[in-house]
Amino acid sequence: MKSKNIVWHTGKISKAIRQRAYGHKSAVIWLTGLSGSGKSTIAAEAEERLFTQGINTYRLDGDNIRFGLNQDLGFSQADRKENVRRIGEVSKLLIDAGIITFASFISPYAADREMVRNLLDDGEFIEVYVKCDLAECEKRDPKGLYKKARNGEIKAFTGISDPYEEPENPEITVETDTMDLEECTEKIIQYLRENHYIS
Ligand SMILES: Nc1ncnc2c1ncn2[C@@H]1O[C@H](COP(=O)(O)OP(=O)(O)OP(=O)(O)O)[C@@H](O)[C@H]1O
Ligand SMILES: [Mg+2]
């Protein structure tokens, strides 16, 4: 921290008060996986399911955040770490606001994801491993990025020329090459129900 003369100001409406008023807990559902594995697709679907049930939700998505807040960051290991750190901090604010947040980021480094887990209270970080075979992701190639990575047009592309560290103990794993979108979405919502985030 650079600033020394700062003092936390506590408001009158706490996270607990917000959660009681909203009738559900708040947490970040952190979707990690290869490009094209289905993180954004699943987040959008699950968010719609929850929002239409009256639950306060929001979505943070890798590319979208790089258009704005993180437009100064690239894809080096240090920048990926800073990308994840900032999203972790934004997630923490949204959780404080009582919102169930979906964060869809490749987030290839286990240590960076762990940093976010440690930033949050127990139970507030729900890691979802969106698992999909690299060959299947490459076949889907929804943004044409694998093609560019194979051509050498994109350097440091996760799965091709940059590492992806699989989660060791994710709260949820969805396998998008064997489960359809509905099954993946339902598995996440089921977890939220069973663990009393929502009723
Ligand atoms: N079970 C599934 N769940 C999610 N997506 C699926 C599934 N089966 C097939 N797909 C398809 O896979 C593609 C996933 O693309 P999507 O943009 O969601 O990936 P992503 O993980 O967000 O990638 P990126 O990291 O590049 O943003 C979509 O075209 C989607 O229709
Ligand atoms: Mg995406």
82-136 pLDDT, tens digit each: 999 999 999 999 999 999 999 999 999 999 999 999 999 999 999 999 999 999 9
Does ligand 1 have an atom closer than 6 angstroms to the CB of 108?
no
pLDDT attached to residue 1: 84
**Average pLDDT, integer, range 53-73:** 96
Rounded Cα distance between 140 and 179, Å, is 15
Structure tokens at 100: 């169930």
> What percent of the chain is modeled with pLDDT above 90?
99
| 8 Å CB contact between 74 and 66 | no
Q: What is the mean pLDDT of residues 182-188?
A: 98
Task: Write the residue with the smallest CA distance to atom 26 of ligand 1.
Answer: 35
Mean pLDDT, residues 58-82 taken together: 95
Average pLDDT over residues 132-161: 96
Whose Cα sits closest to atom 31 in ligand 1?
A: 41
Which is catalytic among the residues 26, 91, 104, 107? 107
Whether the CB of 181 sits within 6 Å of ligand 1:
yes
Q: Tell me the pLDDT of the chain averaged across its residues.
A: 97
9-41 pLDDT per residue, tens: 999 999 999 999 999 999 999 999 999 999 999
Residue 35 annotated as catalytic: no
Residue 15's identity, in one-letter code, is K
**Is residue 31 classed as helix, strand or coil in its secondary structure?**
strand
Among 35, 41, 177, say which to mutate for ligand 1: greatest number of ligand atoms within 8 Å of CB: 41
Instruction: Specify the DSSP class assigned to residue 162.
Output: B
β-strands 100-104, 27-32: how paired? parallel
Helical (H) or strand (E) element with 184: helix 181-194
